[in-house]
A and B are shown apart, each in its own frame.
Chain A
Amino acid sequence: MANSSLANAQIESARIVAANRRTDLLMASIGILVLGIATLLLTSVFVGLLASGWDRLINPDFYTHFPSRHPQQAGIISAIVGSSLVMLVTAVIAIPLGVAAGLYLEEYAPKNWLTDLIEINVSNLAGVPSIIYGLLALGLFVYAFSLGETILTAGLTLALLILPVIIVATREAVRSIPLELREAAYGLGADKWQVVRMYVLPAARPGIFTGVIVGLARAIGEAAPLITIGALTFIAFLPPLPVQATPPFVNFDWLTSPFTVMPIQLFNWVSRPQAEFHVNAAATGVVLMVMTLAMNALAIYVRLRLRRLHR
């Protein structure tokens, strides 16, 4: 009797183990399949662009020339510089603002209906179509503040666009810090700012960083809101240099310069009837993707480094 129940128990547990194995296997297969499809799509797009744009990509002139009516001479220097400067403005505005807002909402704001309302709104803003931000920026920055169709306006617009992403990421990262660590810090007599500065921010940094990169990667690919605020599609000069020979040696004239960015340049070339321009467009696509991937790679690298320092 006892023996047979023991045997039964063994058979039963063997059955459970086998069932668990099957479920694991199934989940793993589905995962690999989905991952495979996603990677395949991305790679085929990339390879496709690479193949079509190859002739221009290997030509150094492509990177140093301004756009031109002759596809063979057209380059993306103004778009590369434009994108870089706009991203710089976006990052300088959106990162401190977004992180501070997220920290405030999570750490300092009283927990009441107003905070809840703000939270819901911020999450929703992350999903608002980017062209709406373009309209807002056109009314606010271009007309109301008379900032013109400038790098500054573009940076502000994209900063608005990615602010919700950074705020949400910051809140998530801050919220995921274990209660015990907070209590340990408060228990030592730390005040709120000390807890935030010494414990919360360092621990939340990897999560915040991820949010920042996701946001910036989104911003660098945006054309619609910038077209709405009146970005140029054809530009044959660079913004003024930020450094000068006379004191104060730096200037911010570049902020008020007209500009174009990579996605707009790409869009412009795609919509031309001549097939040669399509080659340029494909090549621009490759450069844009490389820029995005490089940003992600940087994010991963920094995150790993931070984690190593932190642990």
Chain B
Amino acid sequence: MRNSTKTRVKLLMNEMTSSPHPFGATRQRQDAQPEPVSAPALRAEVRNLDFWYGATHTLKSVSMAVVDCKVTAVIGASGCGKSTLLRCFNRMHDLYPGNRYAGEIQLYPEDRNLIEMDPGMVRLRIGMVFQKPNPFPKSIFENVAAGLRVRGVNGKSLLYERVEQALRGAALWDEAKDRLHDSAYGLSGGQQQRLCIARALAPQPDILLLDEPTSALDPIATAKIEDLLTVLRNTVTVVIVTHNMQQAARISDFTAYMHLGKLVEYGVTEKVFTTPQSPLTNDYITGRFG
């Protein structure tokens, strides 16, 4: 199972440079030879995903891979559907009536389509950090513990342990350790955003989704969060939406470029930025458009 996934990624990465469609080869995985090479495993794979806000067709046949323990960046002009795509991953759209999906987001290793799973189940496994820091009106401790409490963890020592671990993971421990029981609203914007990352990390999600997590922050706070993501990249699977192409280039391993609801390009970040296949991508990254 795991093997065939690896195979597909390998194929996918070979294929990506030549095929305009990133999944040109993935369909014929049965024919593929087992690959001994250490290709990364997939955490999730989007296949021909369509999404509608009521009657508005917002995502059009999007396909992309999310590689295990790597950072995948989604870039594109404002309004192209980046947030919409990200919010499909944890079924946020299900909170509002009238939204509709078609297609698949296959979750690995169990190989299930998360579009057909219970949204609550999906969200228990896939954490999200929003564009605007949105801590709960509670103490710092309770904010980080929130996801654990939702999962029924109430033992004090275990909570403390996991909260500390998550705060350290989000590089907030030193700033927060003496004020764990103060209101989270007393933190600065950048600290609040790291708190939200800690909150999402505490339940140890399979995938961490970040929607422009630094767009409301100053360069120093941004740098802290970028450092954090580079540290996290080897332990957590991250999908990050960003407006900032330098940021995508700096921190991501894979990059997806979206244009008007379509996924135009997907590949290894370096390649996407140096030798983009699509003229649209080229225009966007050279700043002629977007």
Chain A interface (Cβ within 8 Å of chain B)? 111, 178, 180-191, 194, 198-199, 202-203, 310-311
Contacts and interface: CB of A to CB of B under 8 A. Distances in A.
Contacts of B136: 181, 184-185, 199
B127 interface: yes
Given A183-B130, A184-B130, A311-B183, A189 B123 contact: yes
Interface centre among B125, B134, B185 (most CB of A within 10 A): B134
A180 to B, nearest CB: 4
Contacts of B200: 187-188
B117 interface: no
Contacts, number: 66
B169 interface: no
Main secondary structure of the interface of A (DSSP, over half): helix
Given A111-B97, A183-B92, A190 B134 contact: no
Given A183-B130, A311-B183, A188 B92 contact: no
A185 B92 contact: no
28 contacts: A180-B132, A180-B134, A181-B134, A181-B136, A182-B95, A183-B130, A184-B134, A184-B136, A185-B150, A186-B92, A186-B95, A186-B123, A187-B92, A187-B123, A187-B127, A188-B203, A189-B124, A189-B125, A189-B147, A190-B120, A190-B150, A191-B120, A194-B150, A198-B149, A198-B150, A199-B136, A310-B137, A311-B185
3 residue pairs, one from A and one from B, having the closest CB atoms: A189-B124, A180-B134, A188-B147
A199 B135 CA distance: 11
Nearest to B132: A180
A208 B34 CA distance: 63
Contacts of A181: 134, 136-137
A311 B196 CA distance: 17
A189 B151 contact: yes
Contact of A188 (B97, B132, B150): B150
Contacts of B183: 311
Nearest to B148: A188
A180 B133 CA distance: 9
A187 B151 CA distance: 13
Contacts of A189: 120-121, 123-125, 147, 150-151, 203
B183 to A, nearest CB: 6
A188 B130 contact: no
Interface in B10-60: none
B130 A180 contact: yes
Nearest to A308: B183
Contacts of A190: 120, 123, 150
Given A180-B132, A184-B135, A185-B146, 4 more contacts: A180-B134, A184-B199, A189-B150, A189-B203
Contacts of A187: 90, 92, 123, 127-128, 130, 200
B239 to A, nearest CB: 14
B57 to A, nearest CB: 23
Interface centre among A178, A186, A194, A203 (most CB of B within 10 A): A186
Contacts of A182: 95
Interface centre among A185, A189, A202 (most CB of B within 10 A): A189
Contacts of A311: 137, 183, 185
A184 B92 contact: no
Contacts of A310: 137-138
A115 to B, nearest CB: 12
B95 A188 contact: no
Given A111-B97, A183-B95, A198-B149, A188 B137 contact: no
A311 B185 CA distance: 7
A182 B132 CA distance: 13
A182 B130 CA distance: 12
Contacts of A111: 97
A188 B208 CA distance: 11
Contacts of A184: 130, 134-136, 196, 199
A111 to B, nearest CB: 6
Interface string B200-235: 100100000000000000000000000000000000
Given A191-B120, A198-B149, A203 B128 contact: no
A212 to B, nearest CB: 21
